[in-house]
Amino acid sequence: ASPPRPTSPPSATSGNGSHRRPITVLIVDDERTFGEALELALAHEEDLLIVDVATDGTQAVRSADRLHPDVVLMDVAMPGMNGIEATRRIKEADPDARIVILSGHDDEHLLARAVQAGATGMLRKTEAVVNVASTVRRAHRGEALHEPDELESAMRRLDEQGRAISIEEKPKEPK
């Protein structure tokens, strides 16, 4: 069973005026200025609460284990443990965690690897500051962040590439 999500004083109101707990968010990015930009972009959203900003995959796993955020915004390229490995470890410990991979590239192979590791989807860093609040809400609700055919194509290419690599890596039979 997954650990319980953190409880915070209700600060957000739904459309009918009733209070609900804000969506808790962990930001993970080794570029401090980008992490701060995301933090600023989310700071004015009443229904979102930043619980921590980590700067590498190891910190991300520790923070997620300690704080159990609803959504993790995870940079993919970090020194030490990368975002894909950190995602895999967080999902192993908490299958209900929603993780959105942040990348500077629109890479189909990376999307497939992120989803295989347990990520909800991927967001380009160039779109992140503008779209981050709506993406966090969608991820929290369990909505797809990508079109099904986009994911299917990415997974198929990863599978084909994996098969090609495994064939190439086989040692040649002696004659």
pLDDT tens per residue, range 14-34:
444 445 899 999 999 999 999
- Give residue 19's pLDDT: 58
Q: If we measure between CA atoms, which residue out of 120, 95, 108 comes closest to residue 152?
A: 108
Q: pLDDT grade, residue 42 (50/70/90)?
A: very high
Is residue 25 a contact partner of residue 73, using CB atoms and an 8 Å limit? yes
The two three-digit tokens of residue 8, written as one number:
């915070």
Condensed to tens digits (0 to 9), the pLDDT of residues 87-105 reads 999 999 999 999 999 998 8
pLDDT higher than threshold 60 for residue 171: no
Note the pLDDT of residue 105: 80
| pLDDT reported for residue 13 | 44
